[in-house]
Amino acid sequence: MGEPAIELEGLGRRFGERTALRDVTLTVPQGATLVVLGPNGAGKSTLLRVLAGLLRPHAGTLRILGHPLPDEGWRVRGRIGLLAHEPMLYRDLTPRENLRFHARLHDVPLTRIDEVLDAVGMTARADDPVAVLSRGMVQRVAAARAVLHDPELLLLDEPFANLDPAATALLEPLIGRASGRTRVVTSHDPAGGLAGADLALGLRGGRPAICAPAREVATADATALYA
C-alpha cells in the first residue's frame, strides 16, 4: 500500500471567532473508509470541505493523496469526488445537461454520462429539469456527478439521506465500500456508520472525541456523542 490518502496533523478551522474544527489528527490509508460521527454543528461538513480543498485550514497540516493542501491543491483537484448537502446541480438544467457540464470540466468522455445515469437508475428521468425531481432523485444524480470522473477519494456528507432502501442499494457499488475507493463518510447513524467503516472519528464541538479503528469503538460511546 502506498502513501496514506489523508494525513491530518493538528488541523483546525475557524469561522470568525467560532472554532469549527480543532486539533484533528488522523491518517486514512488508501482504500479505507473513515466514518465521521457527531451531532449537528460538530464540524463534520466543515471537515469534508477542508479535505476537498474548498476551505483553508487555519491550523495544522493537511496532505491529501500525498500532496500538501492548500499549497498543492491543484494536484488533487479532479481526484476528489464530493457529495455534499448541496447537490451542485443547476436546477434549470436536466441531469444529463448537468453531467455533460461536469464531464467537460473534468475532461471525461461524454459516453460516461449514460453509464453513471444508468448506474443510479436515472436514465428515464435524465432529460427532466432537476427542479422537478424529488429530493431522492436529486441525491442520486448528485452521486452520479460525484463519481463521474472516477475519483480516488470520495467525501460523502450523509450520502444516503433522502434515499429509500432500493436507491441506497443502487448507490452502494458506486459510493459504498464496494466501490473500493478511499472514503470519508459523515453519518448520524453510529451503529451503521461504524459497521461500514475501517476508522472512526467522533467530533464534539469541533474537537475529536473519538479517533480509533471502527471495530474498537463501542456503539454506545459513539451514540453518546449525540447526548
Report if residue 97 touches another protein, rule: CB under 8 A. yes
Considering only residues 165 to 194 of the shown chain, the ones binding another protein according to CB under 8 A are none
Rounded distance between C-alpha atoms, residue 59 and residue 226, angstroms: 26
Is the CB of 77 or the CB of 215 nearer to another protein?
A: 77
Residue 147 sits at φ, ψ, to 5 deg, of -105, 0
Binding test (CB under 8 A) with another protein, winner from 89, 122, 174, 184: 89
Judged by CB under 8 A, the stretch of 36-44, 81-89, 115-123, 188-196 that binds another protein is: 81-89
Return d(Cα 28, Cα 214) in angstroms, integer. 12
Taking CB under 8 A as the rule, does residue 104 contact another protein?
A: yes
Taking the complex as a whole, how short is the minimal distance between the CB of residue 81 and another protein, in angstroms?
8
Lookup: cell for 179: 466501490
CA distance 201 to 217: 10
* 92 is a contact residue toward another protein (CB under 8 A): yes
Sole binder of another protein in the list 19, 30, 66, 106 (CB under 8 A): 106
| Min separation Cβ 166 and another protein, Å | 26
DSSP one-letter string for 81-113: EEE-SS----TTS-HHHHHHHHHHHTT--THHH
Asked if residue 128 binds another protein (CB under 8 A), the reply is no
- Least Cα distance to 36 among 154, 147, 149, 171 occurs for 154
| Number of residues located near another protein, criterion CB under 8 A | 29
Q: Mask: binding to another protein, 55-74, rule CB under 8 A, as x and -?
A: xx-------------x---x
Work out whether 84 is an interface residue with another protein (CB under 8 A).
yes
In the complex, minimum distance from the CB of residue 219 to another protein, in angstroms, rounded to a whole number: 33
105 binds another protein (CB under 8 A): yes
53 binds another protein (CB under 8 A): yes
SS3 of residue 122 by DSSP: coil
Buried b (16+ CB within 10 A) or exposed e, 103-130: beebebeeebbeebbebbebeebbeeeb
CA max distance for the chain: 48
Helices (H), 18-88: 44-51, 73-76
Interacting residues toward another protein by CB under 8 A: 52-56, 70, 74, 77-80, 82, 84, 86-93, 97, 101-102, 104-107, 145
